[in-house]
Structure 1
Amino acid sequence: MINGMDLFREHFADYKDQYTIIGGFACDLLMTDAGLGFRQTVDIDMVIIIEALTTEFAVAFWSFIDAGGYPILDAEHIIPLKMKAWLDLRSKKRQGIHVDSRDLRKHRLDVFRLYPLIRGEQKICAPASVIEDIQDFIMQMREMDMRLSDIGISRTKESILDVYSRLYIVE
């Protein structure tokens, strides 16, 4: 059982119709209810039910995150992780290893979806190996046809990639 589960239940008691628990924690709950043990899990995977989502739930959710002091990376630091995930999956696929194409698409598009959260003309220092991955991702994206308007982004792919190429520098 995850530490703090009682606090979670109490905090979200009024919103049970707006989310569902999945993953290892859901398995833990099911197995515990059946009187069986399950492996240790350290997180709560939650699916938010968009059709039922209310402003009150969103406020409760973020107040829970804030109160817990949970660290969340900013977009500028998540973007290189998404780039690397896409590069790794693409490499595996090229090696003939099965890769779910939805995962490739998800990571690739997340890089562009996160763009509006970039703050100004800052510079992010990163190790040379990370910069190489960023440059590799940018190069491959420049060669790939994609319409960002399909995911509600009005900027061009090239303009976003240009910002990313200036944003990250070798430390």
Structure 2
Amino acid sequence: MVKGLARFTEHFADFGDSYALIGGAACDVLFGEAGIDFRATKDLDVVLCIEVVDSAFAARFQEFLDAGGYSARERSSGRKEFYRFHKPERADYPAMIELFARRPDVPLLPEDATLSPIPIEDEALSLSAILVDDDYYNLLLERRVAKNGLSLIDAATLIPFKARAFLDLSRRHAAGERVASKDIRKHRADVFRLTQLLPATGKIDVADQIRSDLTAFINDVETDGYDPSAVVPGLALDDGATLLGRFYGLEA
């Protein structure tokens, strides 16, 4: 189990409708349930469901940060990031928490914004979030599940999220931004790890943008000649791409 996940589960037991775990922590829960080993992960990526997030949730979140002794991460400019909290003083709390949300109805928020304040009634509580595209957020709401007292997204939803993260980080890296190559590789590998949790038959409907992103992901890994058997023994790239194409309706 991810370090500190039990603390998080207990603390937010009454707020399952207010959030959904994505990322490595969600993968860890799903793979554990399936009896399959997953890579080590220590951070919590939390999507806030801003339709129901209120001052009670914000206060509860602040209590969690205070109990763990977290700091809001600072940029080199000294500006605090109220969507990313790290360096807990207590060892039994998650190493870092990142907040995500769909674009809220906030006046004067630029169209190209990647971050936004979270609108809550208590202005003394300051939270922000990394913005999630509406298509991905709607898929999250549609396929969110409850596992072991946690709200999280299922494997079929994690795959598009991971593929999009791979694409975003790859593009930023190509544009000269400082991006860790290991993070790009991590998301790519996780997509193929997660194929082990997909049903043998069936498919799901996803938005056109998500299909486009998945197609771009497959094209990129095929161009790179990636070998998924390094993380899923016996899985050839062609077979993995075919599985993704069938399940998400990517065939022409």
Shared fold (TM-score greater than 0.5)?
A: yes
Distance 2:171 2:158 in 1: 20
Judge conservation of contact 2:172–2:179 (CA < 8 Å) in 1: yes
Count residues in correspondence: 131
Q: Provide the secondary structure at the position in 2 that maps to 1:72.
A: strand
Alignment of 1:130-145 (within 5 A): 130-145=210-225
Cα distance, 1:157 vs structure 2 = 1.1
Alignment of 1:1-171 (within 5 A): 4-5=10-11, 29-30=68-69, 45=94, 66=148, 68=149, 70-169=150-249
Bigger Rg over Cα? 1
State the percentage of identical aligned residues: 26
Would the alpha carbon gap of residues 160 and 3 (structure 1) be closer, same or farther in structure 2, given more than 3 Å must change? closer
- Counterpart AA for 1:165: G
Distance 1:126 1:142 in 2: 22
TM-score, with structure 1 as normaliser: 0.62
- Counterpart AA for 1:80: P
Question: Which structure dedicates a bigger proportion of its chain to helix?
Answer: 1
4+ aligned runs moved over 4 Å, structure 1: 2-5, 21-28, 39-42
Judge conservation of contact 2:192–2:232 (CA < 8 Å) in 1: no
Question: Which structure dedicates a bigger proportion of its chain to strand?
Answer: 2
- Counterpart AA for 2:94: D
Structure 2 alignment gaps of length 5 or more: 1-7, 14-41, 45-61, 71-81, 86-92, 97-146
TM-score, with structure 2 as normaliser: 0.44
